[in-house]
């Protein structure tokens, strides 16, 4: 870049101006006329009825004309008085704008450079995070990158990440690794405890991921086991009560029933409470075979139940069995 041909001190400039004094000619006369006018109208008595409302309106119009005349003159003088200042301001603003255009262009280039430098520093920080995360057995993106790590002051003159930044990254990642290890240990503890209690271990260990402590989960498991025990006990007692009720009702029905050939009968309804079932008929062998008889000698091997069943089959079918000496 070439040296600026104009130094800052060369830009010093003087502005010549003469502060003006605004004088109202015949101001005393004007003051007296204003006072006479206001006194005149203040002393007027308006009833504001149909007879003098027109007169009141005319008075208002006359006063407004005088006020407008004075205000218009004020604006006229102000415009003339302000014109040199307005011209001066417009010139100075144009000079500043011309300088700002060039300055803004340079600033845009500086921003692009800073962004590219920050991108390089970001990549270096990410590489260091990968190195630190690997022995800790965690992912590099488990911690958020601090904006201060990307400042130029966080790097050495050779462009390397400073040691204090690396220590800060390591400390944050170590905390995450310890938290994960503790969570894994707590989940294993709860898994064992839930299995011993006969509960689903995965559902209970999942509470650790939600921020529950081991002590809280164990208390909840104890409560769940106790609730289950109380429920089963209540169901068992209800079944017992139902069985006792049914037995009592059956006993009462037996005591009140009449014994007949068909069994016990309710004397009021005639309903058979307990019927006499006929004895099952013995099945007689109806198998008929007119083929010639044969005699065979067999040696049988089987369990006592099997041989007993076979013996019954032989008897039922009329097969003669003679023991062999």
- Contact between 122 and 145 (Cβ < 8 Å): yes
In angstroms, the CA 126 to CA 174 distance is 16
* Chain centroid, CA 36 distance in Å: 79
Which sequence spans correspond to the domains of the chain? 46-159, 162-253
Higher model confidence: residue 11 or residue 149? 149
Angle between helical axes of 214-256 and 163-196 (0-180°, round to 10): 20
Instruction: Give pTM, 2 decimals.
Output: 0.47
Strands in 272-275's sheet, in edge-to-edge order, are 258-260, 263-265, 272-275
Does residue 174 carry a pLDDT above 90? yes
- HSE-CB at 38 with a 13 A cutoff on CA atoms is 7
Q: Encode pLDDT of 80-138 as tens digits.
A: 889 989 999 999 999 899 989 989 999 999 999 999 999 999 999 999 999 999 999 99
Supply 245's token pair.
């009720």
Three-state SS for 263?
A: strand
Round the CA-based radius of gyration of the chain to a whole number and report it.
58
């Amino acid at each position: 870049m070439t040296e600026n041909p104009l130094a800052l001190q060369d830009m010093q400039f003087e502005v010549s101006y003469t502060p003006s004094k605004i004088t109202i000619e015949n101001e005393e006369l004007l003051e007296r006329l204003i006072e006479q006018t206001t006194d005149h109208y203040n002393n007027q008595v308006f009833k504001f009825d149909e007879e003098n409302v027109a007169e009141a309106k005319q008075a208002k119009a006359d006063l407004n004309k005088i006020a407008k005349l004075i205000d218009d003159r004020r604006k006229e003088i102000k415009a003339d008085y302000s014109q040199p200042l307005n011209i001066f301001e417009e010139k100075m603003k144009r000079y500043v704008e011309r300088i700002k255009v060039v300055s803004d262009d340079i600033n845009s280039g500086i921003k692009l450079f800073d962004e590219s430098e920050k991108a390089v520093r970001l990549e270096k920080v990410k590489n260091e995070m990968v190195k630190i995360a690997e022995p800790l057995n965690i992912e590099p993106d488990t911690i958020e990158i601090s904006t201060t790590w990307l400042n130029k002051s966080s790097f050495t003159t050779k462009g390397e990440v400073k040691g204090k930044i690396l220590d800060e990254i390591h400390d944050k990642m170590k905390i995450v690794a310890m938290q994960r290890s503790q969570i894994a240990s707590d989940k294993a503890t709860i898994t064992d405890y839930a299995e011993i209690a006969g509960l689903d271990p995965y559902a209970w260990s999942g509470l650790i991921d939600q921020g529950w402590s081991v002590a809280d989960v164990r208390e909840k498991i104890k409560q769940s086991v106790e609730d289950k025990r109380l429920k089963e006990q209540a169901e068992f007692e209800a079944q017992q009560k139902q069985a006792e009720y049914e037995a009592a009702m059956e006993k009462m029905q037996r005591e009140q029933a009449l014994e007949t050939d068909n069994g016990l009968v309710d004397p009021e309804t005639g309903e058979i409470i307990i019927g006499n079932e006929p004895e099952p008929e013995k099945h007689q062998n109806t198998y008929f075979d007119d083929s010639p008889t044969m005699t065979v000698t067999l040696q049988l091997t089987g369990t006592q139940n099997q041989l007993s069943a076979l013996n019954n089959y032989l008897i039922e079918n009329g097969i003669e069995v003679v023991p062999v000496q």
